């Protein structure tokens, strides 16, 4: 931040830690900035941060925590069923969102939020009427992330919580809040914000609007009357840099962007805050802004870009697991049971259950029906288990020589089958040193086809690594409440062992061990033998996996799709 302060002659921006800065900006403009996605594991440092952030809000620590399994009536308010039964008249309760309004709502285990819950929270953020949110994300790896609908509406992402830090006083925040509506934003500042966003490849206008609001909050926090370059720099670092999709273009390309500012001088800025800048200087400023943002880029960005994919493929989020069958799907007969969690009362059946006992139960005058907890009947629903087909493809040299193109063709067929049945698909390729997830589970099959088309072949065969990766993914999907099944395509020429060392005997042994683990996990498997003639090792592998063995030479198109279809059906009956 320091390079900007002396250049512009502005009052120095407070030298707080980025995390503290985020919390302070959020406290100044909670409605405009939404909240912070805190990517950190549980621990004292995180707790301290959450409490300190809440303490910044005027009126003291107004912190509420939302558990993952919150029910709609507790979140949004509604009828208090227990109190209603006790009182014999409707009793309404406030929801957590309105209780926490004006303060902070901490969302525990945000990476496991269901899309439904995330949607409600997002609607609350859109209305800008509820609390600011701290989404506590403990996700590991790329496919555990909070639902995008929520993450996109939180201005900040905090990668690591600070240990000891200086915090501003609540008094400062209160002053800044009062000042916020009076902070002006010059034309040059609008252009700088948009220019930096363009240079970093931030397409979303929501992010740009967040950056502008954060810059305004930063200016208010400084006690300035107008947004200055330092504020834009802070906003770029805190909001735009984490969303960057590319490294800034070289200055030559950027000059074209900034030329738009031709002849536009900051008009409405007080002289002491923003001395007039020449055109050349303005360009230089923007370059430096972009540099500052680039320094804060996550280190793995370039590597991820090299691989050609987005940095973090965010899917719909944690899919509701077992509880879902109590809340959605097609109705089944209700049965007696306790309320709580996602279970919903079936009123008719509860009353029917209570009816025979009415004369025995002493009723208070004015109360017509006596319902007791043991009468409760809950609704049950049948939900179709969503399936995910995990393709593990051997792309090694031997396989490429043999029949990689035909294997690709077979997968295309299976993909079309998956489309019809609305399965999700994931694609893992193994070759050379290890296995790589080319495509995390997705329902967008066009992406699967693209990933498959660009799948290169060559290198030795790390069969056990490929199997292990597929099993790990299957396990993760099962924990999300989906039903995974595995399609392994290999010619069986395993020659890289689990420890990464070459050696045919050890590799074969490790592959068989991995296959036994598959059987242990009970993942349904289909093994397609892509070797020129039947390979007994692949057949043995299939036997160890307790999966179906399908030599490709004999597999015409129809046979393949029939087998996959049956797999889905078998498995659906297991989970129904």
Partner 1 sequence: MKRVFPFTALVGQEEMCEALVIAAIEPRLSGVLILGDRGTGKSTAVRALAALLPDMSAIAGCPYNCDPADEAALCDACRAGGEHAVRRVRVPVVDLPLGATEDRVVGALNLERALADGAKQFEPGLLARAHRGFLYIDEVNLLEDHIVDLLLDVAASGENLVEREGLSLRHPARFVLIGSGNPEEGELRPQLLDRFGLCVEVRTPADIPTRVEVVRRRDAFDRDPEGFCNRFADAESALRERIVAGRARVADIAVDEAVLIRAAEICAALGTDGLRGELTLLRAARACAAYEGAGAVTLAHLRRMSAPALRHRLRRDPLDDSLAGTRVARVVEDMFAA
Within positions 365 to 384, which residues make up the interface with partner 1, using CB under 8 A? 368-369, 371, 384
**Residues in 437-456 at the binding interface with partner 1, rule: CB under 8 A:** 442-447, 449-450
Residues 285-314 that bind partner 1 (CB under 8 A): none
Q: How far is the CB of 517 from partner 1 (least distance, A)?
A: 31
Element (H, E) at 45: helix 44-55
175 vs 180, which CB is nearer to partner 1?
180
Q: Which helix (H) or strand (E) holds 36?
A: strand 35-39
Assess contact for 279 and 261: CB atoms under 8 A. yes
Please tell me whether residue 344 binds partner 1 under the rule CB under 8 A: yes
For residue 195, state whether it binds partner 1 (rule: CB under 8 A): yes
Pairing of strands 483-490, 63-66: unpaired
Q: Is 216 in the site for partner 1 (CB under 8 A)?
A: yes
Q: Is 126 in the site for partner 1 (CB under 8 A)?
A: yes
Is 355 an interacting residue with respect to partner 1 (CB under 8 A)?
no
Nearest Cα to Cα of residue 466 among 437, 441, 443, 425: 437
Tokens of 500: 């990464």
Q: Residues 15-54 vs partner 1: string with x where CB under 8 A? A: -----------------x----------------------
CA 252 vs CA 171, 232, 287, 508, 519: distances in Å: 45, 22, 10, 55, 58
- Helix 504-521, helix 463-479: angle, nearest 10: 20
Q: What backbone phi and psi angles, to 5 degrees, belong to 559? A: -60, -45
Binding status of residue 284 toward partner 1 by CB under 8 A = no
Q: What are the two backbone dihedrals, phi and then psi, of residue 108, each rounded to the nearest 5 degrees? A: -70, 145
How many Å apart are CA 386 and CA 121, to the nearest integer?
25
Q: Is 116 in the site for partner 1 (CB under 8 A)?
A: yes
If you ran DSSP here, which 8-state letter would residue 433 be given? T
Interface with partner 1, residue 461, by CB under 8 A: no
Q: Is 444 left (phi over 0), alpha (psi -120 to 50) or beta?
A: beta
Q: Applying CB under 8 A, which of residues 209, 539, 540, 572 lies at the interface with partner 1?
A: 209
Closer to partner 1 by Cβ: residue 445 or 572 = 445
Give yes or no for residue 255 binding partner 1 (CB under 8 A): no
Question: Is 388 within 8 Å of 423 (Cβ atoms)?
Answer: yes
The answer to whether residues 378 and 345 touch, using CB atoms and an 8 Å cutoff, is yes
Q: Is 472 in the site for partner 1 (CB under 8 A)?
A: no
Least CB distance from residue 442 to partner 1, whole Å? 8
> In the complex, what is the shortest distance from the CB of residue 515 to partner 1, in angstroms, rounded to a whole number?
30
Residues 511-550 contacting partner 1, CB under 8 A: none
Contact pick of 335, 336, 421, 422 for partner 1 (by CB under 8 A): 422
125 touching partner 1, by CB under 8 A = no
Nearer Cβ to partner 1 (207/518) = 207
- What is the separation of C-alpha 135 from the centre of its chain, rounded to a whole number of angstroms? 11
* Contact criterion met (CB below 8 Å) for 38 and 6: no
Number of residues that bind partner 1 (CB under 8 A): 73
Decide whether 335 or 450 has the Cβ nearer to partner 1.
450
């Amino acid at each position: 931040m320091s390079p900007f302060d002396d250049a512009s002659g502005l009052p120095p921006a407070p030298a707080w830690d980025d995390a503290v800065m985020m919390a302070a900006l959020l406290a100044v403009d909670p409605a405009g900035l939404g909240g912070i996605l805190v990517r950190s594991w549980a621990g004292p440092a995180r707790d301290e941060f959450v409490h300190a952030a809440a303490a910044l809000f005027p009126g003291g620590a107004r912190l509420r925590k939302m558990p993952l399994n919150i029910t709609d009536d507790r979140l949004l308010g509604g009828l208090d069923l227990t109190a209603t039964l006790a009182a014999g008249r409707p009793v309404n309760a406030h929801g957590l969102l309105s209780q926490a309004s004006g303060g902070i709502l901490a969302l525990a285990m945000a990476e496991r939020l269901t899309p439904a819950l995330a949607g409600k929270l997002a609607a609350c953020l859109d209305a800008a009427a509820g609390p600011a949110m701290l989404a506590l994300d403990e996700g590991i790896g790329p496919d555990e992330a909070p639902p995008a609908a929520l993450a996109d509406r939180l201005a900040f992402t905090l990668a690591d919580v600070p240990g000891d830090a200086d915090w501003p006083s609540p008094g400062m925040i209160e002053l800044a809040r009062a000042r916020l509506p009076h902070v002006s934003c010059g034309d040059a500042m609008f252009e700088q914000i948009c220019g930096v966003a363009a240079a970093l490849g931030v397409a979303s206008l929501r992010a740009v609007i967040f950056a502008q609001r954060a810059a305004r909050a930063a200016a208010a926090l400084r006690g300035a009357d107008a947004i200055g370059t330092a504020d834009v720099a802070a906003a770029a670092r805190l909001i735009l840099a984490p969303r960057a999709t590319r490294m800034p273009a070289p200055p030559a390309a950027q000059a074209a962007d900034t030329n738009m500012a031709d002849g536009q001088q900051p008009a409405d800025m007080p002289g002491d805050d923003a001395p007039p800048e020449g055109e050349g200087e303005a360009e230089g400023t923007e370059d430096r802004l972009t540099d500052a943002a680039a320094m804060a880029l996550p280190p793995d960005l370039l590597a991820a870009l090299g691989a050609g994919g987005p940095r973090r493929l965010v899917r719909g989020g944690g899919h509701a697991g077992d509880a879902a069958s109590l809340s959605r799907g097609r109705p089944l007969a209700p049965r007696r049971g306790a309320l709580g969690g996602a279970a919903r009362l079936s009123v008719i059946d509860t009353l029917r259950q209570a009816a025979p006992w009415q004369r025995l139960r002493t009723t208070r005058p004015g109360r017509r029906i006596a319902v007791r907890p043991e009468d409760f009947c809950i609704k049950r629903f049948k939900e179709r288990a969503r399936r995910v087909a995990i393709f593990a493809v051997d792309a090694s040299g031997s396989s490429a020589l043999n029949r990689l193109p035909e294997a690709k063709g077979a997968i295309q067929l299976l993909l079309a089958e998956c489309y019809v049945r609305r399965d999700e698909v994931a694609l893992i390729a193994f070759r050379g040193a290890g296995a790589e997830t080319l495509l995390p589970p997705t329902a967008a099959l066009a992406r699967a086809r693209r990933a498959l088309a660009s799948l290169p072949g060559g290198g030795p065969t790390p069969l056990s690594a490929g199997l292990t990766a597929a099993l790990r993914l299957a396990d993760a999907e099962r924990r999300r409440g989906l039903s995974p099944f595995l399609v392994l395509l290999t010619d069986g020429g395993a020659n890289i062992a689990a420890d990464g060392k070459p050696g045919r005997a050890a590799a074969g042994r490790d592959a068989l061990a991995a296959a036994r683990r598959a059987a242990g996990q009970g993942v349904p498997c289909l093994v397609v033998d892509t070797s020129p003639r039947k390979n007994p090792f692949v057949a043995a592998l299939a036997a160890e996996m307790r999966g179906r063995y399908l030599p490709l030479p004999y597999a015409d198109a129809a046979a393949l799709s029939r087998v996959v279809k049956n797999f889905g059906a078998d498995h659906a009956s297991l989970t129904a």
